């Protein structure tokens, strides 16, 4: 059995431009792989995972070594989305129920999954209430903002008391205005039934657009300008992304250049929940990870054992008899494009 210990790499990584304003933060959503209701004798033979800022692709091979077919529910839990007045969340397709553009195939045939969606405010299910008033369940996006603005004042007052929305005042240059910001939490799961035929492999693949978090400036730097790579926050991020000495030297060099030119660096993140793979029977027979860079301008750090550079824009690792014990978190340091 192999595990995924800390191993940092520093490399050039050019991600998709993520537009943020200075001092703003866009949080990422940590999606991942498939889960299922237990099916006896079904093992994950292999998982081939590709991660880039544009797309996540996962190709599985499952094998039923029993003497009869097994049918079970397979699910893809989307990351919870919680509204906030403090920051925005990077939602790839906020106007769609399928907000991360999820798709799935079985033996190359597309499958239309069922969708289960529920909204909660202070742990109370408010799904029916939102639907009754024509409010989209996603707590971000123009459609949700416009629908809340059209609510009667009495309804808004009630929803403020119930912790469903909060009032936010701002001045856009034409006088003070009040906007009602959703603070409920949305849980979304795609699911479908799959039959694993006795004695043979079944190929399952899914795709989605990742949520790429971003901030102007480097959030992991400590408060001491003379020693920015120190402090509790830095140590926490160092462990999460496995910053090594070569990565930190490259960051320091970029920081010096940014100060000289009176510019700044941008930090972005991609997260993948790998530990859901442990829900399947046994270990993963063969696990293969590819992180695709894009080009050579941006620095990247993530954890992995035996990572190798396999091309101008790719890093890969392969493990056998693999048991996932930690998720994949990727930190990207880049210069803004404008």
| pLDDT, position 45 | 92
List helix spans (H) across 84-141: 127-132
pLDDT at 22 over 60: no
pLDDT at 336 over 80: no
Q: What is the rounded CA–CA span in Å between residue 17 and residue 232?
A: 29
| pLDDT, position 1 | 33
Mean pLDDT of 4-21: 32
pLDDT at 131 over 90: yes
pLDDT at 315 over 80: yes
Q: What is the rounded CA–CA span in Å between residue 56 and residue 170?
A: 37
Range with lowest mean pLDDT among 84-93, 96-105, 118-127, 258-267: 84-93
Q: Which of the two residues, 327 and 155, has the higher pLDDT score?
A: 155
Q: Phi first, then psi: what are they for 146, rounded to 5°? A: -65, -40
Mean pLDDT of the chain: 83
pTM (two decimals)? 0.81
Q: What is the rounded CA–CA span in Å between residue 188 and residue 108?
A: 25
pLDDT in tens, 246-276: 999 999 999 998 888 888 888 888 888 887 6
What percent of the chain has a predicted confidence (pLDDT) above 90? 43
| pLDDT, position 274 | 80
| pLDDT, position 251 | 93
pLDDT at 225 over 70: yes
Residue 24 banded pLDDT, cuts 50, 70, 90: very low
What is the C-alpha radius of gyration for the chain, rounded to an integer number of angstroms?
22
Instruction: Write out the chain in H/E/C secondary structure.
Output: CECCCCCCCCEECCCCCCCCCCCCEEECCCEECCEECCCCCEEEEEEEEEECCCCEEEEEEEEECCCCCEEEEEEEECCCEECCCCCEECCCCCCCCCCCCCEEEECCEEECCEEEEEEEECCEECHHHHHHCCCCCCCCCHHHHHHHHCCCHHHHHHHHHCCCEEEEEEECCCCEEEEEEECCEEEEEEEEEEEECECCEEEEEEEECCCCEEEEECCCCCCCCCCCCCCHHHHHHHHHHCCCHHHHHHHHHHHHHHHHCCCCCEEEEEEEECHHHHHCECCEEEEEEEEECCCCCCEEECCCCCCEEEECCEEEEEEEEECCCCCEEEEEEECCCC
| pLDDT, position 9 | 38
| pLDDT, position 16 | 30
Q: Which of the two residues, 164 and 21, has the higher pLDDT score?
A: 164
pLDDT in tens, 133-170: 999 998 988 889 999 999 999 999 999 999 999 998 87
The count of other CB atoms within 10 Å of the CB of residue 331 is 26
pLDDT in tens, 287-314: 999 998 777 788 899 999 899 989 887 8
| pLDDT, position 28 | 52
The count of other CB atoms within 10 Å of the CB of residue 308 is 11
Per domain, the residue ranges of the chain are 1-35+211-338, 70-196
| pLDDT, position 11 | 37
β-bridge mates for residue 51, sequence order: 56, 291
Question: How many CA atoms, within 13 angstroms, populate the side-chain half-sphere of residue 197?
Answer: 8
Closest CA to 268 of 78, 42, 7, 90: 90
Residue 176 banded pLDDT, cuts 50, 70, 90: confident
Do residues 329 and 31 touch, judged by C-beta distance below 8 A? no
């Amino acid at each position: 059995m192999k595990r995924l210990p800390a191993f940092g790499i520093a490399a050039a990584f050019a991600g998709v431009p993520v537009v943020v304003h200075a001092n703003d933060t866009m949080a990422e959503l940590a999606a991942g792989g498939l889960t299922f209701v237990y099916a006896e004798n079904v093992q994950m033979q292999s998982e081939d995972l590709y991660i880039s800022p544009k797309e996540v692709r996962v190709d599985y091979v499952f094998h039923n070594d029993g003497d009869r077919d097994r049918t079970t529910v397979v699910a893809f839990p989307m990351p919870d989305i919680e509204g906030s007045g403090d920051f925005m969340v990077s939602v790839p397709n906020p106007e769609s129920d399928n907000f991360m553009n999820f798709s799935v195939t079985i033996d190359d045939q597309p499958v239309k999954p069922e969708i289960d969606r529920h909204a909660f405010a202070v742990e109370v299910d408010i799904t029916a209430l939102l639907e009754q008033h024509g409010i989209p369940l996603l707590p971000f996006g123009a459609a949700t903002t416009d629908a809340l603005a059209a609510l009667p004042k009495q309804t808004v007052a009630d929803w403020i008391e119930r912790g469903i929305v909060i009032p936010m005042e701002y001045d856009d240059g034409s006088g003070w205005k009040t906007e009602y910001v959703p603070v409920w939490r949305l849980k979304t799961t795609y699911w479908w039934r799959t039959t694993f035929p006795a004695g043979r492999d079944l190929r399952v693949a899914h795709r989605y657009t990742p949520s790429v978090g971003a901030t102007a400036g480097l959030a992991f730097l400590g408060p001491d300008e003379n020693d920015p790579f120190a402090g509790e926050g830095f140590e926490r991020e160092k462990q999460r992304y496995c910053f090594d000495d070569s990565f930190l030297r490259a960051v320091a060099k970029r920081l010096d250049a940014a100060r000289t030119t009176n510019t700044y660096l941008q930090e972005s993140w991609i997260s993948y929940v790998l530990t859901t793979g442990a829900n399947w029977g046994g270990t993963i027979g063969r696990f293969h990870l590819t992180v695709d860079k894009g080009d050579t301008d941006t620095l990247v750090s993530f954890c992995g054992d035996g990572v190798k550079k396999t091309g101008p824009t790719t890093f890969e690792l392969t493990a056998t008899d693999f048991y996932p014990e930690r998720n994949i978190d990727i930190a990207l340091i880049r210069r803004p494009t404008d």
